[in-house]
Amino acid sequence: MIIPLRPAHASYLAEIHCAALANDFLPSLGRGFLTSLYQGVLEQNTGFGFAALVDELMVGFVLGSADSGALFRRMLTGGNAFRLGCRALPAVLRRPQLAVNIVQTFRYPQKESLPTEKAELIVIAMDSMHQHQGYGRKLVESLNQAFRDHGVASYKVSVVQARENANRFYLALGFTKAGEFELYGKGWNLFRYILEHER
């Protein structure tokens, strides 16, 4: 079953994200940081997405935004910035290099070669026990419909080049490679998807 994401799901999203993408940067800031991030994004409607449920257990999710630049700007202002900063502080004190990565994270939309492409698939994560069962495709299809409902004609997604399975996943769904960039000392591929709208 696919359901829309709600702010109350934030802690589950953080748990899945940390488990599925453990070697990524954001999980290094801690589950509390991710919980606050997802809660803020969903409460303020700067992002939207869907979760896959199996026997009422959340096993994966996708999060997108019609304007990812606005999403990041909103998370860097006022109470959002303070709350996220407090959540990230313990990890940064243990590993000061993370502070540089935080700045890179919120500036990364400027690195991409599609500056006019505002809509973005921000993150998709799936429990390891439920990968390769079609849930990822269903989540992306649900996000595609939500993008259409928001009047989005196309959107982008960034993928670490070394993640061969993830790159193949997007290509199989009809995404096309639109560029490359570097972030956190890694090479990334930038993919674009053009949505077909019902007439």
Domain at 23, CATH number: 3.40.630.30
In a domain, 199, yes or no: no
In a domain, 163, yes or no: yes
- Please give the span between the terminal C-alpha atoms of the chain, in angstroms, as a whole number: 27
Q: How far is residue 20's CA from residue 157's CA, in Å, rounded to a whole number?
A: 17
Q: How far is residue 179's CA from residue 191's CA, in Å, rounded to a whole number?
A: 7
The pLDDT, as a whole number, for residue 185 is: 80
Q: How far is residue 95's CA from residue 118's CA, in Å, rounded to a whole number?
A: 32
In a domain, 32, yes or no: yes
In a domain, 23, yes or no: yes
Q: Tell me the CA distances in angstroms from 197 to 151, 152, 172, one per residue in order.
A: 9, 9, 20
The pLDDT, as a whole number, for residue 137 is: 96
The pLDDT, as a whole number, for residue 154 is: 95
Residue 121 is part of which domain span? Answer: 2-194
Q: How far is residue 62's CA from residue 28's CA, in Å, rounded to a whole number?
A: 20
The pLDDT, as a whole number, for residue 109 is: 58
Q: pTM score, two decimals?
A: 0.87
The pLDDT, as a whole number, for residue 128 is: 86
The pLDDT, as a whole number, for residue 199 is: 40
* Tens of pLDDT, residue by residue, the chain (199 residues): 999 999 999 999 999 999 998 888 888 888 999 999 999 999 988 899 999 999 999 999 999 999 988 887 787 776 777 788 888 888 888 888 777 777 667 666 555 555 668 999 999 999 988 888 999 999 999 999 999 999 999 999 999 999 999 999 999 999 999 988 888 788 999 999 999 865 4
Q: How far is residue 42's CA from residue 101's CA, in Å, rounded to a whole number?
A: 23
Domain total in the chain: 1
The pLDDT, as a whole number, for residue 4 is: 97
In a domain, 86, yes or no: yes
Dihedrals phi, psi of 26, to nearest 5 degrees: -55, -40
In a domain, 95, yes or no: yes
In a domain, 89, yes or no: yes
In a domain, 54, yes or no: yes
b/e 1-40 (16+ beta carbons within 10 angstroms → b): ebeebeeebbebbbbbbbebbeebebbbbbebbbbbbbbb
Q: How far is residue 83's CA from residue 33's CA, in Å, rounded to a whole number?
A: 8
